[in-house]
Chain A
Amino acid sequence: MQTTPATPDTDLQADNLRRAAIDKSVKGPVLFLFTNGAFWLMLSTVLGVLAAIKLVEPEFLGNCPYITYGRLQPAHINALVYGWGVQAALGVMLWVMARRSGQELKGGKSLLITAGVFWNITITFGIVAVLMGKSTSIEWLEMPKFVWPVLLACFLCYAWPIARMFGRAFRPEGFMVSTWYILGACFWFPWIFITANVALHCLPGLGAIGAGIDAWYIHAVILLFFVPVGVGAAYYFIPKITGQPIASAQLASAGFWSLAVLGGWTGMQKYMGGPLPAWMSSVGACAGVLLLIPVGLVGLNHHLTTIGKHSAVATSPTLRFIFFGALFYPVSGLVLALNSAFWTGANLQFTQSWYAFQTVSVYGFFSMCVFGAIYYIVPRLSGCEWLSVRLIRNHFWFSVYGIGTIVIMSLVAGWQQGADLNNPEHWDQTFMNHVINSRPYVVSRAVAWALISFSNCMFLLHLLLMVAGLGRRSSAPTLLEHDHDDHALPNEAHA
């Protein structure tokens, strides 16, 4: 990515007009996706609290069959992944791609809104069905069969215009790393999604291979959809707000292609030592550890881009969220490597560390980057500025501490569970020690989700006020600290 070269005033004005036109063209669909996504996010965190409580005290709220842990947990994860994750990702992808390729969304806006409406209705039906007892028990694909073709069609309605924008864009500089990631996400997601659904819902039954394909699906969606969108957003906003070009084109390119090459190989190590052919889980384990390379390259590049601009992290809400999101990226790579390598993975297998990986990658990394993006995008679409610094600050701190707690606690709990299972003292015992030892970790998870869902209620409210046009009328963006006005932030100039 290159910064805009110094331009005369008239050019700047023309540029701003062009940006405003692009923003206007994508306003409807993007705001629709963000608000609905924020609603699902709040709901999923509430379900997360309930599921964690049910894991410790199954008689909480009575023995109602609709809210047993076996149904709540999939509802919680599906709301997080499809309700919030994919939906918010599509909004960010559409906006960043339109801006970065300098293309307006031409027509089809009503189709996009319709697709968004269908996406939400289908997920509502799907999650209610899981709670009513129609779950398929295929992890991350628990919603019943009828859900998936609709979701695919809706996704493609968005992916097509995004890919077209990339294709039409005039790129004299030729190097636009954020759009590579976003195009990759557009391209890979339907492929992964169709493969997993055909294999698990249409073929006559793949037995243990099916379980392997499901584990692969989860890793592929995380690594080839959520990670590219998060990294793409980080590559777009970090230079934009710090005003420095991306440190190294070589690092960016290597980070992208090594992710593309390795991302599809990993996943089956979830069932290491299981009934799958041994080479499949071994390959997955190797790729899981080798993925530290793209993670490290991207992390280094982001670090080099932010150097010397750390005051902007304190001031700009967008940069603050994205900075911490980008910090969680190496953490999620590390958790993946720990879960994958045989010598640690054998201990962590089938424990809460699996939950740690899912939450750190989908929430800690991806969602934090998307929050940052939302704090930047929404004021430009709604024409007003964020109302309250305090709400943003609360959202940030609750998210960081909450998700940090969940990840650390789940990892430690995973270690404890694995150690308990392999402890010779326990072999001839009942499962009492495991159950009692893992209890405090799950309690802390419940508390952390409760704090997060509180901050998400505030976030949803804040977002709804913005969408309703009730934000601050001001030409200055809402910043977290006001005493740094001596050096005007570049994002003001960039509009």
Chain B
Amino acid sequence: MTNFRTFILGLAASFGLPWLCLIVLPAMQYEQLTPVAYDKDKDGVEGYFPPAPVNGQGQLVYIREGCNQCHTQMIRPVQLGLDGWYKGWGQDQEARPAAPARPSVLRDYLGEKYALLGIQRVGPDLANFGWRAKDKAAIYQHLYSPRSVHDWSTMPAYTGLFKLQKIQGPVSEHAVKLPKKFAPPAGYEIVPTPEAERLAEYLLSLKKDYPVPGQSAAVAAAPAKK
């Protein structure tokens, strides 16, 4: 291997092949990907898949706080992991769902700059959190004081996303409702900042289990409960 040029060519060829096949070509193909139309007869639904993009503004807060360090957004097929059966991880919120939530597919993340599939599962998966979340108030409570929801929780309290203010006039309708132990001092209320509102909207928009066009799984087309 005395020849410098041959050596460099060897380095380039050995790495260039996976680079081309695994990165460049798939990225080019992905750029061509567009939403697909549902077939009314086969799928029983109208419109396009994926129907609604996630809330991008709120996603920026999710990204900034590094939520994906502990929360994934990816449901695996049942032969690999049992995510689909986990309570509340799909549209069906029952403790024993009738059918597993469907695994995530490429188009679920269409329109997202970077799919936040996640790094670890320190907390539960959020791919279909929009079905699980009761309302914004519940999300605010969980963000402001996770330990008021579960005393064992290791989620950080995002108090920076909320404001403690003196009650002037009637209590704000957005004020975070907390159990007595975690409540602010009398005469004060905790209200979400615009960032917290956007983050809550993003979390509510996480519904990545719309039926996939052409997949005749009866499960996928199960009627929405909300």
Within 14-39 of A, Cβ neighbours of B (below 8 Å) are at none
- Indicate whether A149 reaches chain B with its CB closer than 8 angstroms: no
Question: Quick check: which of B114-122, B168-176, B217-225 contacts chain A, the rest being far away?
Answer: B114-122
Contact B65–A70 (Cβ < 8 Å): yes
| Contact residue among A63, A208, A224 (Cβ-Cβ distance under 8 Å from B15) | A224
Inter-subunit contact A346/B81 (CB<8 Å): yes
**Which of A109-117, A263-271, A316-324 lies at the interface?**
A263-271
Contact of B10 among A208, A257, A346 (CB under 8 A): A257
CA distance A74 to B113 in the complex (A): 19
Docked Cα-Cα span, A137 to B119, in Å, equals 10
List chain B residues, Cβ under 8 A from A243: none
Interface size on B, as a range, is 35 or more
For the complex, what is the distance from the CA of A352 to the CA of B22, rounded to whole Å? 26
**Is there contact, CB below 8 Å, between A54 and B156?**
yes
Which B-chain residue is minimally distant from A283 (CB atoms)?
A: B22
**Selected interface stretch from A182-190, A306-314, A381-389, A478-486:** A182-190
Taking the closest CB of chain A, its distance from the CB of B32, in whole angstroms, is 12
Report whether over half of chain A's contact residues are helix, strand or loop; otherwise say mixed: helix
| A213–B113 CA distance with the chains assembled, in angstroms | 13
Q: From known contacts A137-B63, A205-B111, A209-B30, infer whether A421 and B81 are also in contact, taking CB-CB under 8 Å.
A: yes
Chain B at the A interface: SS class = loop
Q: Scan residues 91-123 of chain B and give those whose CB is less than 8 A from a CB of chain A.
A: 95-96, 103-106, 108-123
Interface 1/0 per residue, A429-453 and B, CB below 8 Å: 1111011101100000000000000
Alpha-carbon separation in the docked complex, A187 to B106 (Å): 32
B30, B64, B104, B121: the one contacting A351 at CB < 8 Å is B121
Select which of B4, B150, B159 is within 8 A of A65 by beta carbon: B159
Quote the shortest CB–CB distance from A22 to chain B (angstroms): 20
Q: Does A427 contact B (CB under 8 A)?
A: yes
Q: Does A236 contact B (CB under 8 A)?
A: no
Contacts of B19 in A (CB 8 A): 191, 195, 264
Query: In the complex the two chains form, is B106's CB within 8 Å of A275's CB?
Result: yes
> Please, which residue of chain A has its CB at the minimum distance from the CB of B33?
A207
**B51 at the A/B interface (Cβ < 8 Å)?**
no
B85 contacts chain A at the CB level, 8 A cutoff: yes
For window 190-246 of A, CB contacts with B under 8 Å fall at 191, 195, 199-200, 203-214, 216, 224
B10:A205 contact, CB within 8 angstroms: no
Any chain A CB within 8 A of the CB of B47?
no
19 contacts between A and B (CB under 8 A): A57-B154, A58-B155, A58-B157, A63-B157, A63-B158, A65-B159, A65-B160, A174-B1, A200-B114, A206-B27, A260-B10, A264-B14, A274-B117, A275-B105, A350-B119, A355-B120, A421-B82, A435-B123, A435-B153
